[in-house]
Amino acid sequence: KAGVTQTPRYLIKTRGQQVTLSCSPISGHRSVSWYQQTPGQGLQFLFEYFSETQRNKGNFPGRFSGRQFSNSRSEMNVSTLELGDSALYLCASSSTLGGEQFFGPGTRLTVL
Amino acid sequence: AQSVTQLDSHVSVSEGTPVLLRCNYSSSYSPSLFWYVQHPNKGLQLLLKYTSAATLVKGINGFEAEFKKSETSFHLTKPSAHMSDAAEYFCVVVTDSSYKLIFGSGTRLLVRP
Tell me if B113 sits within 8 A of B17, measured CB to CB: no
pLDDT by position in tens, chain B (length 113): 778 999 999 999 999 999 999 999 987 777 889 999 999 878 899 999 998 778 899 999 999 999 998 999 999 999 999 999 999 999 998 876 667 788 999 999 999 99
Reduce the DSSP state of residue A85 to 3 states and report it: helix
Tell me if B92 sits within 8 A of B36, measured CB to CB: yes
Chain A, 41 to 100: residues with Cβ < 8 Å from chain B are 42-45, 48, 55-56, 58, 90, 92, 97-98, 100
Tell me the Ramachandran region of residue B84: left when phi exceeds 0, alpha when psi lies from -120 to 50, beta otherwise.
alpha
Quick one: CA dihedral B54, B7, B44, B85, positive or negative?
negative
Find the CB nearest A45 among B49, B101, B106: B101
d(CA A81, CA A84): 8
Nearest CA in chain B to A97: B99
Nearest CA in chain B to A98: B99
Mean pLDDT of A1-8: 90
CA B3 to chain centre: 14
d(CA B33, CA B94): 6
- Picking from A36, A43, A44, A95 by the largest number of B CB atoms within 10 A of its own CB, the best residue to mutate is A43
